Amino acid sequence: MRLLTREAVLSFRRAPLLSVLSVTTIGFSLFTLGLFGLVAINLRQALRGLEERVEIVAFVLRGTPTETITLATQDIAAFPEVREVAFVSEDQALARARRELVEFRDAYRDLQTNPLPASIEVRMKEGSQDAATVGRVAERLRGFGFVDDVRFGREWVQKLDHLRNITGVVGLVIGLAFAAVAVVIIGVTIRLTILQRAREIAIMRLVGATNWFIRGPFLLEGTLKGFLGGVFSLGLCYGGYRLFRDRSGGTFADLIFFRTEQMLLILLFGVLLGLAGSLVSVGRHLRDV
């Protein structure tokens, strides 16, 4: 193990320029992937903001006893798809209308009787905001005897579904393409290192080194380069993120950066890329010679 580590560290010292080059290449490859990841998580975040607004409103018949409504809201809150249930009384509905619909303020002020019905507002859990689930819950609400009508903006929810699917597929395709490019670039970079040390590998074989012994330092070196490349790419991503957010004049003030576990995932991806790249390259080299 000591020899393995020594050989891996030595290779950094022997060819510092090539080592820096491979780390920065891995870093930039992961950076493009990271940038795409940043766009993806921010799109996802924006989509989540829209999804938060998915709401089913069940209008309640006038004269429904409060106890009936209380029991019903408890029932609805227990639905597995439901995150939050709120009862809005007739008076609350009127107050809200006066507050929010400014242009009709005068009309609402002069009313003798309140025309607005009471309602139960239901918000859905994350993952249950698609049109099919929302439609199913709306149907169940319609089943309550005191419910007059149920609304949830079917078309809007369907569009949201569509948007979610498109971003998912496009994200997956572009993400895979970026990852594939990163794998190829990293493989080529590591192959360069191996070619530079072909003579050393030939001598190792000559004196009876096993293939695993030869691979060891390269794998460790690849892993280390992948990790350093990952750190470098995260630095670049953070720099880019701050620059974009701070220079946008507040337009993108809500942009988010990777969470700790997402950063660890990028580092792990770098490590795996480095490891896989060296495994493939050194394996191919050992087969060729």
Partner 1 sequence: MIRFSHVYKSYPNGAVALKDATFRVGKGEFVFLTGHSGAGKSTIMKLLFAEQRPSGGDVRVSGYNIGALRGDEIPKLRRRLGVVFQDFRLLEDRPAAENVAFALEVTGARRDTIAARVTRVLTQVGLSAKNRAFPGELSGGEQQRVAIARALVNDPAILLADEPTGNLDERATRGVFQLLRDINAGGTVIVMATHDLDLVRQTTYRTIELREGAVVYDSADDRAGAEPSP
**CA dist., res. 195 & res. 211, Å (int):** 16
210 scored as a contact of partner 1 (CB under 8 A) = yes
> How many residues line the site for partner 1 (CB under 8 A)?
16
Tokens encoding 23: 């780390």
CA gap 283, 249 in Å, rounded: 51
> Shortest distance, CB of residue 272 to partner 1, whole angstroms?
26
* DSSP code at position 256: -
User: Between the CA of residue 183 and those of 73, 169, 207, 226, 284, what are the distances in Å?
Assistant: 53, 21, 33, 11, 15
The answer to the question of residue 211 lying near partner 1 (CB under 8 A) is yes
Out of 3, 107, 169, 176, name the contact with partner 1 by CB under 8 A.
3
Q: Which stretch binds partner 1 (CB under 8 A): 62-70, 173-181, 185-193, 206-214?
A: 206-214
Stretch that binds partner 1, among 112-120, 122-130, 210-218, 219-227 (CB under 8 A): 210-218
Instruction: Please say which residue, 170 or 198, places its beta carbon nearer to partner 1.
Output: 198
- Overall residue count recorded for the chain in this entry: 289
Measured CA to CA, the distance from residue 129 to residue 135 in angstroms comes to 10
The letter for the amino acid at 4 is L
Q: What is the nearest approach in angstroms of partner 1 to the Cβ of residue 15?
A: 10
Q: Is 284 in the site for partner 1 (CB under 8 A)?
A: no
The residues that touch partner 1, with contacts defined as CB under 8 A, are 2-3, 14, 199-200, 202-211, 213
